[in-house]
Amino acid sequence: METLKLLCDYFPTAVFTGKCLVFISQSWRVELTEHKDSDFSKSDTDPTVIRVRIYKRALDGELIGGHYEDFQLASLNELAEQVEKYVQQAIGANLRENIE
């Protein structure tokens, strides 16, 4: 969860739930979760996996899971930039501002 806590500083509109980083609007929900690799043969210096899930709100209010992507970049700045670019392309909104 350490990487998610650091990403909170980069994305001021996010809410950290203790489990994931959430961006929510009337139309979208974007979740960032942190996953440790269960392969114990790898070193602890490998960066954790950040999974970005994007949900679209249907007309009835239900969230429909769309797609997700896993990011595993060692540099926190590069990770944040790539996540921001990915989400911006997927939903057409910037995560550093309130998403619509």
Given a cut of 50, the residues of the chain with pLDDT beneath it are: none
pLDDT of amino acid 40: 59
pLDDT of amino acid 25: 85
pLDDT of amino acid 100: 56
The token duo for 98 is 């309130």
pLDDT of amino acid 78: 96
Distances in Å between the Cα of 57 and the Cα atoms of 1, 25, 89 are 27, 9, 17
CA angle 64, 65, 70 (to 5 degrees): 160
Q: What's this model's pTM, rounded to 2 decimal places?
A: 0.83
Q: How many helices (H) and strands (E) does the chain have?
A: 2, 5
